[in-house]
Structure 1
């Protein structure tokens, strides 16, 4: 059965006007342990404190509920990103700055996510950290389990991570503190205005 999109009276421009800021999708990608959730949390706090409406879509949280039916095969990872990209698009249409913190290991999936947004609405940020640093930061013990073959299809160990070739911004979490990286992000995208 074919579906038809419903058109409503209140649109994105009206929501943005009420919010007094432009909606965006800030897509944080990087290995597990690179610092995505930490930076998303700090970035949201800064944006919220400056009066902007925000929401974080975090990979761990979304997999507990919306995507609880998905595993970690390549196909499931692709479906995970497809679903979250559509949710993020709806949130941008709602006039919100949505921060997506997902490993999103495959370039084709991040490109699919980008394709759902207008050119300036999707901001890809590569959260860069060497694999050995991510393993040292591993508070959940996931890398150790993957190295012991107790966890299959783990990104960076037995499943690839394809680093972005041209993100809007790269943040190396071994060079600056999280608060410095957030300041750099706010300045780079001119979010303080």
Structure 2
């Protein structure tokens, strides 16, 4: 249940923060995966970036001018899978994603967060790929690598996608109560 709480917090964070994907229509489907959609402004050039996953860590990973999520202790990687896209007449795009729960579990375990019951925050950092750029299918994990990947109009905007704090709340609503033969609720 902590996993579901963590995932829900992760996507609620994105739905209230304008700097990252805004998650709408979060659905837990019977196979255990999570589906969500985002709505954003369509790119105006052929070269653009997309988020393909996140690193998850217990601690912040940004130091001065760079963010290197894979240094400074254990971390996990969770990939998001784009499963569809709709373009709208107002210039926006709705993109649909799927996150397999087993992949999130593996990322939390790799980050040393598999046995956590309640902590203040975890830290997420985006993993990018560039579409129609000079290095297709390349993961850009550090802040400097995505800034230097192409000639972006404003490479400084990428900092907002690193060390994203997500508050983890292990509290979740009780849906079942186990009562012993002695009448004690557990």
Greater RCO (Cα-Cα under 8 Å, separation 6 or more): 1
TM-score scaled by structure 2? 0.27
Q: Which has the higher strand share?
A: 2
Larger helix proportion, structure 1 or 2?
Answer: 1
TM-score (norm 1): 0.26
Mark the structure with the bigger radius of gyration.
2
